[in-house]
Amino acid sequence: MIRVLHIIDHLGPGGAQTALLNLLKRRDAARFECTVAAMHGQGATVPEFKALGVRVISLSPRKMPPFFLLTLPKLLKSGQFDVIHFHLFGANWIAKPLCWLLGARVLFNHDQCNDAMRERWRYLFADWVTNLLSTKILAVSRSTVDFLQKREKIAPAKLEYFPNGVDVQAFHPATADQRLAARQRWNLPADGLLVGGVGRLAPQKDFATFLVAAARLRTKMPDVHFVIFGEGPEDEALAKQAERLGVPVSFPGYASDRHAIYHALDVLFLTSKYEGTPLVVLEAMAAQVPICASAVDGVAEVLASGESANLFPPRNPEAVSEALGDLLGDPEKRIRQAGAARQQVERYFDVVEQMRRLEAFYEAEIALRGRNQ
């Protein structure tokens, strides 16, 4: 039995947490024993991990004081882990050096996004230094691979392009009854076109532009409705902005039933400033929900504008509303693009294949460096 410890900043809602959930759902439980440790707090996704039969640990009740500096060494000593896999910057910058100092040598870095924060020299330096300790770096987009090679000079042998994956067969287009039930569940309009955003309510996702574009579009298409699923630091600010713009937008909060979300939507609308390979895009592709998204990083790598989605330049409300209006006004285009997107996700982004690849990476690194570090 190979013992794997996944360390992540927190277990609140987010793309990294969902990506990890997707992988662990398809793990070979007979060969791999997985533990998930949050550096601080509990979070909305904890029940989902526990439902998979995965042991979940919180290393500290909150960020401060940093009790994980004491609890992580105890966990490593008692767990005798063969592989430690780090997710998000806090885990990579803080937990990884600590694990290395304590003797761990099979250390995976899961790089989820070409984050703009790394353009600042102090964060770039922290990322570079701690990546020197990584056994293997899994980058979810080719733009992230390029960044790590060009800016951090990471050796190609240490890097793997490892896009996020979804359980493709678990998603499907909604029936009329499923569509109605999903909308009733969150008190959404039963009739008319429904455009939805899904993600953490944080600056990266640029839901402020989502709302400005929605306001522009409503002047031309007043029967279109909007919803944003998620929670985060911009909850109140976005609700106030929607009220100020006079845009009727529903904010149901975090929803763990991802299938029902896509059953409710007619279009997924993504206005992010930067992304890795966003799971909401892959899920919408699998569910055959048409997509209108900003042409950034991994989004532009996965989708072809005019073929499998309508893409637009980020932070440009006029271009955003035009791209969305074009898609909403052309039902045949929505059907055609959604079908092409489904074929794309089936071919390249099935999580079953991704998990088998990851397990093979674990085994290869253990063979090189020995078990239990």
SS3 98: helix
Whether 2-165+350-369 shares its CATH topology with 168-348 is answered: yes
10: Cβ–Cβ under 8 A, 6 or more apart, which residues?
A: 38, 39, 40, 41, 43, 88
Q: What is the pLDDT along the chain (373 residues), one digit of tens a residue?
A: 999 999 999 999 888 999 999 999 999 999 999 999 999 998 989 999 999 999 999 999 998 999 999 999 999 999 899 999 999 999 999 999 999 999 999 999 999 877 666 778 888 899 999 999 999 999 999 989 999 999 999 999 999 999 999 999 899 999 999 999 999 999 999 999 999 999 999 999 999 999 999 999 998 999 999 999 999 999 999 999 999 999 999 999 999 899 999 999 999 999 999 888 899 999 999 999 999 999 988 899 999 999 999 999 998 888 999 999 999 999 999 999 999 999 999 999 999 999 999 999 999 999 987 655 5
CA distance 261 to 246: 24
Helix/strand/coil percentages in the chain, nearest 5? 50, 15, 35
CATH superfamily of 2-165+350-369: Glycogen Phosphorylase B; (3.40.50.2000)
pTM of structure: 0.87
Q: Domain segments of the chain: what residues?
A: 2-165+350-369, 168-348
283: Cβ–Cβ under 8 A, 6 or more apart, which residues?
A: 166, 171, 258, 262
On whether the CB atoms of residues 365 and 83 are closer than 8 A, the answer is yes
CA distance 323 to 333: 12
Q: What is the pLDDT of residues 194-243, one digit of tens each?
A: 999 999 999 999 999 999 999 999 989 999 999 999 999 999 999 999 99
Query: Which CATH code fits 168-348?
Result: 3.40.50.2000
The label of the residue with tokens 């000593």 reads 77
The length of the chain is 373
